[in-house]
Structure 1
Amino acid sequence: MKNTTQIEELKKGNEFVYRYLYEMHYNELCSYVFTLSRDKLLAEDIVQNVMLKIWKNREKLNITTSVKNYLYKSCYNELIDTYKKNKKEFNYIQQVQKEALDVFIEEDEDFVASQINRVQVEIDKLPPKCKEIFLLNKIQGFKYREVAEQLDISVKTVEAQMSKAMSRIKEALEKA
């Protein structure tokens, strides 16, 4: 059947011609779209959508090239439109996830701030020498040996006082 005859018959609503075009080109169009998308189900959906649009808009069809070229170009355009639509949906999903994460982070920030406050309260409750050793090590970043030299005490004393401080802070945080 010639190209112009097929188009004219299709415009008239000839289902036989439509089925013929569908069966004749379906597999090769699916293969073509698959090579572009690497997604078999998407390729089948695209081809089915194109074929459905052709049937729905058959009366308005204006095919100036071969039917085969028209089908290939239509499938390509449908794939591009699908990717654009999916990208918008993906961007929307990402935005929703980001907003949900922001809420979680805000709640998490409140928790962290609360924990930091508890730690500060416990540090303030430490005995003076223990507190001084803890602050030199954890806040100012001195090594145990440096703390020992600065306070003229043994490294073992620093270790014991740090252990005491860490135990008290940990215990306070576990109670909360």
Structure 2
Amino acid sequence: MNEKEKLLLLSQGSNEAFEHMYYLYSGKLYNFIMKLTQGNNHVAEELVQRTFIKIWEQQEKVDPEKSFLSFLCTIAKNLLLNDYEHEAVRFIYAEYIRKSENLRYDNVTEKDIDRKLLEDLIDQLTEDLPPRRKEIFVLSRKYGYSNKSIARKLHLSESTIETQLTKSLAYMKDKLKYYSSYVIFLYMFFYF
């Protein structure tokens, strides 16, 4: 049986085909991950297992006409990037808490710290907006002006204000996704 036939069987849920593909490709995937992680064999071993688990869970996505090794490497790379993103968020959060603890607030809760962290991130992202969009965003989100009030104040139409706010929020969401789903959850919780 050739590889395409095995991949077709795998996409239909065959245990035997899965085992065959694991045997055939786990070593190649391991070597690929070792290069990405600069020789971290623990991470490479774990990612090989997680990648093949994902293959088994999404076996219907296996396309016999496409390179299986490329499919495996893409999944492994995405898993690794997600891990790195989560580590970066944990590090940023830990640093932020450490710095906040230095301020020695008596009644600061974790929710207050989360909110302050999110506000700081949004303030940083707000600085990158075009000047007029930034002004509209600040008036709306920071000072609580209605779209109608902003339109009157800036001599613009309400639809222009809505469009600019939509673009601002899309930009924020896009940038915040790099700070993990946890930060996005906080963003939606506090600002919607």
Q: Which TM-score applies when normalising by structure 1?
A: 0.52
AA aligned to 1:5 is: E
Give unpaired runs (5+ residues) of structure 2. 106-192
> 3-state DSSP class of the match of 1:65?
coil
**Range moving further from structure 2, 61-70 or 19-28:** 61-70
CA gap of 1:2–1:77, structure 2 versus 1, over 3 A, is farther
Inter-partner Cα distance in structure 2 for 1:103 and 1:32: 47
Distance in 2 (CA, whole Å) between partners of 1:41 and 1:101 is: 35
The one-letter amino acid paired with 2:30 is C
Structure richer in helix, relative to its length: 1
Q: Percent identity?
A: 22
Contact kept in structure 1, 2:62 and 2:68, CA below 8 Å: no
- Residue in 2 that maps onto 1:51: 52
Task: Choose 1 or 2 for highest CA Rg.
Answer: 1
Query: Does structure 2 retain, via aligned residues, the 8 Å contact 1:63–1:70?
Result: no
Equivalences for 1:57-72 in 2 at 5 Å? 57-62=58-63, 64-72=65-73
Question: Scaled by the length of structure 2, what TM-score is found?
Answer: 0.48
Number of aligned residue pairs: give it. Answer: 104
How far residue 101 of structure 1 moved from its aligned partner, in angstroms, is 3.1
Judged with a 3 Å threshold, the aligned counterparts in structure 2 of structure 1 residues 65 and 30 are, in CA distance, closer, same or farther, namely same
Residue 26 of structure 2 corresponds to: 26
- Report the counterpart of residue 89 of structure 1 in structure 2: 90
**Secondary structure, in 3 states, of the residue corresponding to 2:66?**
coil
Q: Are the equivalent residues in 2 in contact too, given 1:3–1:66 (CA < 8 A)?
A: no
CA distance, structure 1, for counterparts of residue 97 and residue 48 of structure 2: 31
The answer to which of 33-42 and 90-99 deviates more is 90-99
Q: Is the 8 A contact 1:12 1:59 kept in 2?
A: yes
Aligned to 2:140: none
Question: How far apart are the structure 2 equivalents of 1:69 and 1:88?
Answer: 28
Q: Taking structure 1 as reference, are residues 60 and 32 closer, same or farther at Cα in structure 2, changes over 3 Å only? A: closer
